[in-house]
């Protein structure tokens, strides 16, 4: 599945919910399905800067696709990173770099987050794309 298809799937899923309380619960549930980062990668180097909560992300390049794992100490943040990893994991560095993240606005996520969580969301996307840039450089 490509990034756009996954984003459209997420938009469809979020549109099924009547209100933001249900959407938050869905994000929390998504966080519970997150492919967890190995404890050895819960280091300062893998911490996303700019997040109010602790968020760790690790990336591996496997068969020219980036596979992300992550964790967070906050349930909403864990749900947010789970959504991003669902979109970007198992994709090529080039596709991640070029991906539009407008789906976040389409599901209304940014407008329903506190300013500090919204900043954290931007930091998460930036970090995932930085991994993609680093791996793209290796592949060239």
Our CA angle for 15, 74, 47, nearest 5°, is 110
- Secondary structure letter of residue 4 according to DSSP: H
Q: State the Cα–Cα distance between residues 72 and 109, nearest whole angstrom.
A: 18
Q: Which of 51, 59, 87, 96 is catalytic?
A: 51
Share of the chain above pLDDT 90, in %: 81
The reported pTM is: 0.94
Separation in Å, CA 84 to CA 18, 20, 77, 120, 139: 22, 19, 11, 12, 23
Tokens read off for 16: 């099924």
Q: State both tokens at 75.
A: 């349930």
Task: Using a pLDDT cut of 70, give the percent of the chain over it.
Answer: 100
| Residue 101 annotated among the catalytic residues of the structure | no
Domains and CATH numbers, the chain: 3-139 (3.90.1010.10)
The pLDDT score that the predictor gives to residue 82 is: 96
Find the mean pLDDT for residues 38-53: 91
15-31 confidence digits (pLDDT tens):
999 899 999 999 999 99
pLDDT per residue as tens digits for the range 83-113: 999 999 999 999 999 999 999 999 988 888 8
Indicate left, alpha or beta for 49 from its phi (over 0: left) and psi (-120 to 50: alpha).
Answer: beta
């Amino acid at each position: 599945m490509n990034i756009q298809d996954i984003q459209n799937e997420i938009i469809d899923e979020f549109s099924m919910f009547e209100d933001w309380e249900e959407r938050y619960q869905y994000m929390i549930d998504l966080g519970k399905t997150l492919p967890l980062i190995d404890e050895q990668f819960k280091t300062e180097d893998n911490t996303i800067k700019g997040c109010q909560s602790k968020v760790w992300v690790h990336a591996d390049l496997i068969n020219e696709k980036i596979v992300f794992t992550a964790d967070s100490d906050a349930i909403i943040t864990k749900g947010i990173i789970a959504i991003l990893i669902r979109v970007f994991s198992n994709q090529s560095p080039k596709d991640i770099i070029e991906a539009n993240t407008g789906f976040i606005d389409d599901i209304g996520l940014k407008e329903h987050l506190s300013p500090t969580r919204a900043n954290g969301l931007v930091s998460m996307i930036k970090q995932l794309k930085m991994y993609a840039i680093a791996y793209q450089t290796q592949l060239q």
